[in-house]
Amino acid sequence: MSAAKSALPRSQALKLLRAAAQVSRNAHAPYSAFQVGAALLTDTGAVISGCNVENASYGLTICAERNAIFHAVAVKKRKFKAVAIVASGKQMPFPCGACRQVLAEFGSPEMVVLVAPRAKLADYMELTLGELLPHSFKF
């Protein structure tokens, strides 16, 4: 967890991480075998999730975080308090640069970002979007 006081109660963080872990099992990852799930907590308390979907033409692959954001936009949700990202590997599944920028389009620098390996959800790391992407591109 980050050094600052947690912005989410541990019980709420674990609930969001479990939602991300559950959707990660739906990932289409035949090339990397790296299943990723993301769960967004909206400003109204709704949870919207997405998983990675790989393609033989790698440029057409979509990450879990962007999948979740695009799903949220499709159901008219555009304000988020937190995102949880969980993956099947052993390392912390930090979002790629493209996902960080898409998250920055909809989240504030104070938005909570939780990351954890699926096998060890209780060992999650918490940071803010501002810590992950301190100088995001803005129009």
CATH number of 10-132: 3.40.140.10
Residue 15: half-sphere exposure toward Cβ, Cα within 13 Å:
11
Label the pairing between strands 80-87 and 36-42: antiparallel
Q: Which two tokens stand for residue 108?
A: 């504030």
> What digits encode the pLDDT tens for the residues 67-110?
999 999 999 999 999 999 999 999 999 999 999 999 999 999 99
Q: Domain-by-domain residue ranges, the chain?
A: 10-132
- Helix/strand/coil percentages in the chain, nearest 5: 35, 25, 40
State the amino acid at position 92 in one-letter form.
Answer: M
Say which DSSP state 128 is in.
E
Nearest residue to 38 via CA among 98, 106, 118: 118
> What digits encode the pLDDT tens for the residues 24-77?
999 999 999 999 999 999 999 999 999 999 999 999 999 999 999 999 999 999
In the residue annotation, 126 being an active-site residue is answered as: no
Distance of alpha carbon 94 from alpha carbon 59, whole angstroms: 19
Active-site residue identified among 54, 65, 110, 131: 65
What is the model's pTM? 0.94
Determine contact, residues 53/37, Cβ cutoff 8 Å: no
Distance of alpha carbon 47 from alpha carbon 23, whole angstroms: 12
